[in-house]
Structure 1
Amino acid sequence: MIVTTDGRGNEVRIITNRFDLTAEELGDLYRSRWQIEMFFRWVKQNLKLTCFYGDSENAVMNQIWICLIAYCLLLLMKLELGTSRTLTELIEALKELMWQPWLRMVAAVERKPSRTSRGRQKKQKDQ
Protein backbone atom coordinates (compact mmCIF):
# COMPACT_ATOMS: atom_id res chain seq x y z
CA MET A 1 0.00 0.00 0.00
CA ILE A 2 1.26 3.47 -0.87
CA VAL A 3 0.06 6.84 0.30
CA THR A 4 0.02 9.78 -2.11
CA THR A 5 -1.95 12.99 -2.59
CA ASP A 6 -4.45 13.86 -5.28
CA GLY A 7 -4.65 17.16 -7.19
CA ARG A 8 -6.47 18.83 -4.29
CA GLY A 9 -3.95 17.75 -1.69
CA ASN A 10 -6.13 14.99 -0.20
CA GLU A 11 -4.44 11.82 0.94
CA VAL A 12 -5.07 8.77 -1.28
CA ARG A 13 -4.16 5.20 -0.36
CA ILE A 14 -3.48 2.82 -3.25
CA ILE A 15 -3.05 -0.92 -2.88
CA THR A 16 -0.82 -2.38 -5.56
CA ASN A 17 1.17 -5.42 -6.51
CA ARG A 18 3.60 -3.38 -8.65
CA PHE A 19 6.70 -3.54 -6.46
CA ASP A 20 8.93 -2.40 -9.33
CA LEU A 21 7.52 1.17 -9.26
CA THR A 22 8.08 3.92 -6.71
CA ALA A 23 5.21 5.51 -4.80
CA GLU A 24 5.61 8.67 -6.88
CA GLU A 25 5.38 6.73 -10.16
CA LEU A 26 2.29 4.87 -8.96
CA GLY A 27 0.67 8.14 -7.90
CA ASP A 28 1.38 9.62 -11.33
CA LEU A 29 -0.09 6.53 -13.01
CA TYR A 30 -3.22 6.81 -10.86
CA ARG A 31 -3.65 10.50 -11.75
CA SER A 32 -3.11 9.72 -15.45
CA ARG A 33 -5.71 6.97 -15.26
CA TRP A 34 -8.20 9.43 -13.83
CA GLN A 35 -7.53 11.85 -16.70
CA ILE A 36 -8.24 9.01 -19.14
CA GLU A 37 -11.53 8.26 -17.34
CA MET A 38 -12.51 11.94 -17.56
CA PHE A 39 -11.65 11.99 -21.27
CA PHE A 40 -13.85 8.96 -21.99
CA ARG A 41 -16.70 10.47 -19.96
CA TRP A 42 -16.46 13.62 -22.10
CA VAL A 43 -16.33 11.52 -25.29
CA LYS A 44 -19.42 9.54 -24.31
CA GLN A 45 -21.39 12.66 -23.39
CA ASN A 46 -20.35 14.96 -26.23
CA LEU A 47 -19.50 12.65 -29.10
CA LYS A 48 -22.15 10.03 -28.29
CA LEU A 49 -19.52 7.31 -28.50
CA THR A 50 -21.05 4.62 -26.32
CA CYS A 51 -19.56 1.43 -27.77
CA PHE A 52 -16.61 0.40 -29.89
CA TYR A 53 -17.17 -1.60 -33.07
CA GLY A 54 -13.71 -3.17 -33.12
CA ASP A 55 -11.49 -4.85 -30.57
CA SER A 56 -8.05 -3.89 -31.81
CA GLU A 57 -6.22 -0.78 -30.63
CA ASN A 58 -6.24 0.55 -34.20
CA ALA A 59 -10.03 0.14 -34.53
CA VAL A 60 -10.65 1.95 -31.22
CA MET A 61 -8.27 4.79 -32.11
CA ASN A 62 -9.84 5.19 -35.56
CA GLN A 63 -13.32 5.43 -34.05
CA ILE A 64 -12.19 8.01 -31.49
CA TRP A 65 -10.45 10.10 -34.18
CA ILE A 66 -13.52 9.97 -36.43
CA CYS A 67 -15.72 11.20 -33.58
CA LEU A 68 -13.28 14.01 -32.71
CA ILE A 69 -13.09 15.10 -36.35
CA ALA A 70 -16.89 15.10 -36.64
CA TYR A 71 -17.15 17.15 -33.44
CA CYS A 72 -14.60 19.69 -34.73
CA LEU A 73 -16.44 19.97 -38.06
CA LEU A 74 -19.69 20.57 -36.21
CA LEU A 75 -18.06 23.33 -34.14
CA LEU A 76 -16.65 24.91 -37.30
CA MET A 77 -20.11 24.80 -38.88
CA LYS A 78 -21.57 26.51 -35.81
CA LEU A 79 -18.91 29.24 -35.99
CA GLU A 80 -19.37 29.66 -39.76
CA LEU A 81 -23.12 30.08 -39.36
CA GLY A 82 -22.73 32.35 -36.34
CA THR A 83 -25.73 30.71 -34.74
CA SER A 84 -26.74 30.39 -31.12
CA ARG A 85 -28.25 26.96 -31.76
CA THR A 86 -26.87 24.11 -29.70
CA LEU A 87 -24.75 21.37 -31.21
CA THR A 88 -27.63 18.95 -30.68
CA GLU A 89 -29.93 21.19 -32.72
CA LEU A 90 -27.31 21.40 -35.47
CA ILE A 91 -26.97 17.62 -35.52
CA GLU A 92 -30.74 17.27 -35.92
CA ALA A 93 -30.72 19.79 -38.77
CA LEU A 94 -27.87 17.90 -40.42
CA LYS A 95 -29.79 14.63 -40.16
CA GLU A 96 -32.80 16.19 -41.87
CA LEU A 97 -30.91 18.08 -44.56
CA MET A 98 -27.87 15.87 -45.12
CA TRP A 99 -28.13 15.70 -48.91
CA GLN A 100 -29.61 19.17 -49.44
CA PRO A 101 -27.72 22.25 -50.67
CA TRP A 102 -25.75 24.25 -48.08
CA LEU A 103 -27.98 27.31 -48.49
CA ARG A 104 -30.99 25.27 -47.47
CA MET A 105 -29.14 24.23 -44.33
CA VAL A 106 -28.27 27.85 -43.57
CA ALA A 107 -31.91 28.89 -44.05
CA ALA A 108 -33.12 26.11 -41.75
CA VAL A 109 -30.66 27.06 -39.01
CA GLU A 110 -31.45 30.78 -39.24
CA ARG A 111 -35.22 30.23 -39.31
CA LYS A 112 -37.00 31.41 -36.18
CA PRO A 113 -38.97 28.73 -34.32
CA SER A 114 -42.55 28.56 -35.56
CA ARG A 115 -43.82 28.12 -32.04
CA THR A 116 -42.55 29.52 -28.79
CA SER A 117 -43.11 27.70 -25.55
CA ARG A 118 -43.54 29.53 -22.33
CA GLY A 119 -43.35 26.29 -20.41
CA ARG A 120 -46.00 24.89 -18.16
CA GLN A 121 -48.11 27.73 -16.77
CA LYS A 122 -49.70 27.74 -13.34
CA LYS A 123 -53.46 28.12 -13.32
CA GLN A 124 -54.75 31.41 -11.99
CA LYS A 125 -56.93 31.11 -8.89
CA ASP A 126 -60.34 32.74 -9.20
CA GLN A 127 -60.85 35.42 -6.61
Structure 2
Amino acid sequence: MSTHTMNTGWLHGRFGTVVLWALLICTESAGQLFTKVAGNQLGQMDFNWQWLGEVARNPGILAAIACYIGAFFVWMLILRRSSLSLAFPLSSLVFVVVLLGSWLGLGEHISPLHWVGVVVIIGGIALLAEGEEN
Protein backbone atom coordinates (compact mmCIF):
# COMPACT_ATOMS: atom_id res chain seq x y z
CA MET A 1 0.00 0.00 0.00
CA SER A 2 1.54 3.32 -1.04
CA THR A 3 1.78 6.39 1.18
CA HIS A 4 -0.67 8.22 -1.07
CA THR A 5 -3.28 5.49 -0.66
CA MET A 6 -2.87 5.48 3.12
CA ASN A 7 -3.53 9.24 3.35
CA THR A 8 -6.83 9.22 1.46
CA GLY A 9 -8.95 7.42 4.08
CA TRP A 10 -11.77 9.12 5.96
CA LEU A 11 -9.50 9.88 8.93
CA HIS A 12 -7.34 12.17 6.83
CA GLY A 13 -10.19 14.26 5.43
CA ARG A 14 -12.27 17.05 6.94
CA PHE A 15 -14.75 14.55 8.42
CA GLY A 16 -11.90 12.71 10.14
CA THR A 17 -10.68 15.96 11.65
CA VAL A 18 -14.14 16.70 13.03
CA VAL A 19 -14.35 13.18 14.48
CA LEU A 20 -10.93 13.56 16.11
CA TRP A 21 -11.92 16.88 17.67
CA ALA A 22 -15.16 15.41 18.98
CA LEU A 23 -13.23 12.48 20.46
CA LEU A 24 -10.70 14.79 22.09
CA ILE A 25 -13.29 17.07 23.62
CA CYS A 26 -15.40 14.13 24.82
CA THR A 27 -12.50 12.14 26.30
CA GLU A 28 -10.90 15.10 28.06
CA SER A 29 -14.24 16.32 29.40
CA ALA A 30 -15.27 12.84 30.53
CA GLY A 31 -11.92 12.48 32.27
CA GLN A 32 -12.57 15.65 34.26
CA LEU A 33 -16.10 14.62 35.17
CA PHE A 34 -15.04 11.08 36.16
CA THR A 35 -12.32 12.55 38.37
CA LYS A 36 -14.84 14.85 40.09
CA VAL A 37 -17.30 12.02 40.73
CA ALA A 38 -14.53 9.74 42.00
CA GLY A 39 -13.22 12.48 44.28
CA ASN A 40 -16.68 12.90 45.75
CA GLN A 41 -16.96 9.13 46.26
CA LEU A 42 -13.58 8.91 47.98
CA GLY A 43 -14.44 11.75 50.34
CA GLN A 44 -12.02 13.18 52.87
CA MET A 45 -9.13 10.81 53.46
CA ASP A 46 -5.55 11.32 54.52
CA PHE A 47 -2.94 11.01 51.82
CA ASN A 48 -1.50 7.60 52.73
CA TRP A 49 -1.16 4.06 51.32
CA GLN A 50 -4.76 3.21 52.14
CA TRP A 51 -5.96 6.29 50.23
CA LEU A 52 -3.77 5.38 47.25
CA GLY A 53 -5.26 1.87 47.30
CA GLU A 54 -8.78 3.29 47.30
CA VAL A 55 -7.87 5.58 44.40
CA ALA A 56 -6.35 2.71 42.43
CA ARG A 57 -9.54 0.63 42.83
CA ASN A 58 -12.04 3.42 42.16
CA PRO A 59 -13.89 2.85 38.86
CA GLY A 60 -14.20 6.59 38.26
CA ILE A 61 -10.46 7.09 38.54
CA LEU A 62 -9.79 4.13 36.25
CA ALA A 63 -12.27 5.55 33.72
CA ALA A 64 -10.63 8.98 33.99
CA ILE A 65 -7.18 7.48 33.36
CA ALA A 66 -8.51 5.62 30.32
CA CYS A 67 -10.04 8.87 29.03
CA TYR A 68 -6.77 10.77 29.47
CA ILE A 69 -4.77 8.07 27.71
CA GLY A 70 -7.24 8.10 24.82
CA ALA A 71 -7.18 11.89 24.70
CA PHE A 72 -3.37 11.86 24.52
CA PHE A 73 -3.35 9.69 21.41
CA VAL A 74 -6.15 11.66 19.76
CA TRP A 75 -4.29 14.90 20.56
CA MET A 76 -1.19 13.52 18.83
CA LEU A 77 -3.27 12.77 15.71
CA ILE A 78 -4.78 16.25 15.77
CA LEU A 79 -1.38 17.92 16.09
CA ARG A 80 -0.12 16.00 13.05
CA ARG A 81 -2.64 17.86 10.91
CA SER A 82 -3.15 21.17 12.72
CA SER A 83 -1.01 24.07 13.83
CA LEU A 84 -0.52 24.28 17.57
CA SER A 85 -1.49 27.96 17.46
CA LEU A 86 -5.01 26.93 16.42
CA ALA A 87 -5.28 23.49 18.03
CA PHE A 88 -4.45 24.57 21.57
CA PRO A 89 -7.08 27.34 21.71
CA LEU A 90 -9.63 24.96 20.16
CA SER A 91 -8.95 22.53 22.98
CA SER A 92 -10.46 25.12 25.34
CA LEU A 93 -13.84 23.81 24.21
CA VAL A 94 -13.21 21.26 26.94
CA PHE A 95 -13.91 24.05 29.47
CA VAL A 96 -17.31 24.59 27.89
CA VAL A 97 -18.21 20.90 27.84
CA VAL A 98 -17.03 20.36 31.43
CA LEU A 99 -19.11 23.32 32.56
CA LEU A 100 -22.17 21.93 30.74
CA GLY A 101 -21.50 18.44 32.10
CA SER A 102 -21.13 19.67 35.66
CA TRP A 103 -24.36 21.64 35.31
CA LEU A 104 -26.44 18.96 33.56
CA GLY A 105 -24.86 15.80 34.99
CA LEU A 106 -23.75 16.84 38.46
CA GLY A 107 -26.34 19.51 39.21
CA GLU A 108 -23.76 22.19 39.91
CA HIS A 109 -24.87 25.83 39.93
CA ILE A 110 -23.41 27.86 37.07
CA SER A 111 -23.31 31.60 37.63
CA PRO A 112 -24.19 34.13 34.92
CA LEU A 113 -20.52 35.13 34.85
CA HIS A 114 -19.57 31.56 33.95
CA TRP A 115 -22.05 31.65 31.06
CA VAL A 116 -20.45 34.90 29.89
CA GLY A 117 -17.11 33.07 30.02
CA VAL A 118 -18.53 30.35 27.77
CA VAL A 119 -19.59 32.98 25.24
CA VAL A 120 -16.13 34.60 25.39
CA ILE A 121 -14.39 31.23 24.87
CA ILE A 122 -16.57 30.37 21.88
CA GLY A 123 -16.15 33.87 20.46
CA GLY A 124 -12.38 33.68 20.86
CA ILE A 125 -12.25 30.34 19.12
CA ALA A 126 -14.36 31.70 16.26
CA LEU A 127 -11.97 34.66 15.87
CA LEU A 128 -8.92 32.40 15.88
CA ALA A 129 -10.49 30.04 13.35
CA GLU A 130 -11.38 32.94 11.07
CA GLY A 131 -7.83 34.28 11.26
CA GLU A 132 -6.45 30.83 10.40
CA GLU A 133 -8.38 30.68 7.13
CA ASN A 134 -6.92 33.97 5.84
Q: Which has the higher contact order (CA 8 A, sep 6+)?
A: 2
Task: Return the structure number with greater strand share.
Answer: 1
Q: Give the number of the structure whose residues are more often helix, by fraction.
A: 2
> If the length of structure 1 is used for normalisation, what is the TM-score?
0.29
